[in-house]
Amino acid sequence: MGYRPVLAERNAPVRYAVQVNVAPGVLVSLVPPYSALKFSSFSHQTIHVYSYAAFGEANYAFTDELKLTLGARLTREEKSGHSEDYNTSGFSDPLIAPHYSHAWGAFTPKATLSYQPLHSLLTYVTASTGFKSGGYDTTGSTVAGLETPFRPEKVTNYEAGMKWSGLEGRLTVAASAYYVDYRDLQVNEYNQQLLQFVTANAGRSKFPGAELEAFARPISWLTLYGSYAFIGSRYSNYSDGQNSYSGNQIPFDARNHYNFGGELHFHTRQLAGGDVRFGADVTYRSKIYFDDQNQTPQFILQHTPIRGLVNAHLTWASADDRLELSAWGKNVTDTHYLIVASDLTAFYANPAEYTSSVGNKMFAGDWNAGSLLGISFTYKR
């Protein structure tokens, strides 16, 4: 038989979910964490970061319609620190006290070619590079773990897009497609020896993406808008030394994201000649994974999509725009989804549960905020 309860009391910020599959004739019990796993310590850390950069940009117009923009940035970052870890008494010398320092630098150019054949149409192609310096994982528990820096993250991005405005400005559409190539993407990697997450580098990640936005004002008192984004984020070459995650979807990245909304706005003499605006928007998002293995259990995964989160507002603004009174609601549909979920099986399962082949799993999850209603008043001097 199997037992898979839905995550309980979803309005609470932190709740525990337990999946226990019991084989015939096997007695399973849940026990508190072993005392051998209990520990306490405290540490003192000092980190210094120095960042230097020089950048510039130049534009050249081949014609009135065709323009080239070139830019570049030269970056250097220096990081250094000192850590001291003590035992629980606080009276002994530090157990470890390493010093560490390192510097990283990069030259990141960018080029954009834009073409505007009509006043209402702009198209562009761009190639750009980016850089995120390396650093130190200050959660390390060994001298080597504290002294060894993780590598900088570098990215190359290719993008093409357009923006069109027509129907006398009542309709605007923007679309873009891009291809991103990450090298040494910085990720949170679970260390089996330390039983904690540490910062590490994924070898390479390449993914395509696309975005579409539309803004419409079909009549003077109505505004409509919508957007769609696709992110095909996957690891193309990543191994932590024990497991290969190549081809897996990058955690916390949803492949599809939708947002739609609208607003009514009109002038009224009955309310001191002010303006009234009433609007709402709704958001949808596809599922996300919480682990590089893409093995998030289904009873957790089914709670990660956003299925219709609605925000709304009703606002009055004075004629001179100095006073504003607004009643608003966030997540008025009280939609719930998991922001993050952590596997605690290794900490809370007893040996029989941990080694069982029937798939016992224990997770702690953080939910999004529930419905929030409010009234705000704004005065501009």
Q: Is the pLDDT of residue 185 over 70?
A: yes
- Give residue 20's pLDDT: 39
Could you give the CA distance from residue 311 to residue 316 in angstroms, rounded to a whole number? 17
Say how many residues make up the chain: 381
98-134 pLDDT tens trace: 888 899 999 999 999 999 999 999 999 999 999 999 8
Q: Is 261 or 187 the better-scoring residue by pLDDT?
A: 261
> Candidates 3.90.1310.10, 3.40.718.10, 3.10.450.50, 2.40.170.20; correct CATH number of 2-7+14-23+38-379?
2.40.170.20
Q: Where are the domains of the chain?
A: 2-7+14-23+38-379
Look at residue 259 in the predicted model and tell me its pLDDT.
97
pLDDT of residue 146: 79
C-alpha count within 13 angstroms, C-beta hemisphere, residue 129: 14
Q: In the predicted model, is pLDDT for residue 327 greater than 60?
A: yes
pLDDT of residue 342: 79
3-state secondary structure 122-168: EEEEEEEEEEECCECCCCCCCHHHHHCCECCEEEEEEEEEEEEEECC
pLDDT at 17: 39
Count of CB atoms within 10 A of residue 298's CB?
9
User: Which residues are bridge partners to 38 per DSSP?
Assistant: none
Neighbouring residues of 111: CB distance < 8 A, sequence distance ≥ 6: 68, 69, 70, 71, 126, 127, 128
pLDDT at 173: 97
Q: What are the tokens at 57? A: 């940009």
**Closest to 44 measured CA to CA, from 182, 119, 138:** 138
Contact 231, 192 (CB under 8 A): no
- The count of other CB atoms within 10 Å of the CB of residue 332 is 15
Torsion of CA 26, 27, 31, 34, to 10 degrees: -50
| Buried b / exposed e along 66-99 (16+ C-beta atoms within 10 A) | ebeeeeebebebebebebebbeeeeeeeeebebe
pLDDT at 48 over 90: no
Taking only the tens place, the pLDDT of each residue in 268-299 is: 877 767 889 999 999 999 999 988 888 888 88
Q: By mean pLDDT, which of 87-91, 133-137, 185-189, 370-374 is the weakest?
A: 87-91
CA distance 97 to 191: 22
Confidence of residue 32 (pLDDT cuts 50, 70, 90): very low
In 3D space, the residue among 101, 84, 100 whose CA is nearest the CA of residue 92 turns out to be 84
Q: Are 365 and 15 in contact (CB under 8 A)?
A: yes
- Tell me what the pLDDT averaged over the chain comes to: 82
